[in-house]
Amino acid sequence: MTSVPPTNGAVRSRPRLRLRLKPNTSATGHVDGAWWPRSRCVTTELAALAEALAGRLGRVERVAYALSSWDDAPRRFRLSGHLARLEGFTYQDRNVVHLTGANHGRVTLLVVPPEMTAVAGRAAMMTAAHGGNADRPEEILAAAIVPVPRRERRPTQQGEVR
């Protein structure tokens, strides 16, 4: 299948990466920041993430993730021109991903579920990236969920409640 370029002259770009990191000097808590992927396909989502983390980690060589949170993926994946190891585990926290770089640095990120609302997703990312935050991933996500207000029930002209 071939791709047809846009006819209006617009250039299609990939969506902006949703990533927030704690300051480099902050080594507190369970996570180093938050990542909000747009899908559950780890191979689709990783390229932009690895590129963004290159300043902290160098070349990303290993990614550990929870098997239950992502679609099936190969054990090795070409990432920024080299093969990286993708390691899915049944026992890993489903709300985190660990990335290890060539310089042996490691970043642990809260994974904000792709289906989370915009308000809750942004709140979770800001909390996880706050320098003093030491909450567990599930606590961050639970605190970010804002209940949707219920519409008021009003009587109709016939006296029914809607």
pLDDT digit string (tens) for the chain, length 162 residues:
444 444 454 545 567 899 999 988 767 889 999 999 999 999 999 999 999 999 899 999 999 999 999 999 999 999 888 899 999 999 999 999 999 999 889 999 999 999 999 999 999 999 999 988 999 999 999 999 866 555 555 555 555 544
> What is the DSSP pairing of strand 60-66 with strand 76-79?
unpaired
As separate numbers, helices (DSSP H) first and strands (DSSP E) second, the chain gives: 3, 7
Note whether residue 41 is domain-resident: yes
159 occurs within a structural domain: no
Give me the domain span that covers residue 58.
19-144
User: Could you tell me the two tokens for 98?
Assistant: 């660990």
3-class SS of residue 78: strand
Q: Would you say residue 71 lies in a domain? A: yes
Cβ(84)–Cβ(92) below 8 Å: no
Residue 12 lies in a domain: no
**How many distinct structural domains can be found in the chain?**
1
Distance between CA atoms of 151 and 64, rounded to whole angstroms? 43
Q: How many CA atoms lie within 13 A of 33 on its CB side?
A: 18
